[in-house]
Amino acid sequence: MNKKVFGSIVALVIIGTLVAIMVRDATGEEFNGRQKQLERQLEEAGQTETVSDDEEAVGIRPGEAAPDFTLQKLDGGEMSLSDFRGKKVILNFWASWCGPCRSEMPHMENFYKQEAKKLGVEILAVNLSASERGSDEKVMENITNFVGEFGMTFPVLLDKDGKQGDIYQAISIPTSYIIDSSGVVRQMVRGPMDEKMMRELAESIE
């Protein structure tokens, strides 16, 4: 075979191989991108559920009095749910390892800063400390870092023994209870909320 012809064939084979690799890689990246986008859409569309007083609920049912508790605050001292009788309360259960909690917290902080006061709403963020991973020191470090990362200015409480998480049946998190000014649960929300949803829920109760 002519050396020039053989050289041309080899060159074509090499070029074809490189093109195939490039196409394969591009297709893989495109597929991974579509997969991640679909996962995000499923997470956003399927993880938030509102339970009102005419539906079955796991945990404290809408229409029931919210059980009182006293928990340690992250910044020291103690705080009770009953301290806020006369105000609407969003009682939020979360953990530092929870992805949907990370999605929700910026919305919750913005709502707290911009709208909560005029709507007469307090937010109590109860960390499910018993579910956090690591030593006691590592758990506190993770919680503190999470709070700092999202600039959380509302009260953060520590459910160290998991008792309140059990009472309120915070099985999937975030779980939030919307409590009226009389201390009665009006709605339970499973999954992350945005500012619009928080505002609408707060406006729907007295």
Cα dihedral 134, 138, 140, 145 sign: negative
How many Cα atoms within 13 Å fall on the side-chain side of residue 177?
A: 30
Phi, psi dihedral angles at 194 (to 5 degrees): -110, 180
Q: Which two tokens stand for residue 205?
A: 């109760």
Rounded-to-integer distance, Cα 2 and Cα 190, Å: 73
Please tell me the predicted confidence (pLDDT) of residue 50: 63
Q: In the chain, how long is the greatest CA-to-CA distance?
A: 95
pTM of the model: 0.75
Q: Which two tokens stand for residue 103?
A: 């999605």
Residue pLDDT, tens place only, 7-36: 433 333 333 333 333 323 333 343 334 334
Mean pLDDT by 10 residues, the chain (206 residues): 38 34 35 39 49 56 96 97 97 98 98 97 98 95 98 98 96 96 96 97 96
Kind and range of the H or E element at 88?
A: strand 88-94
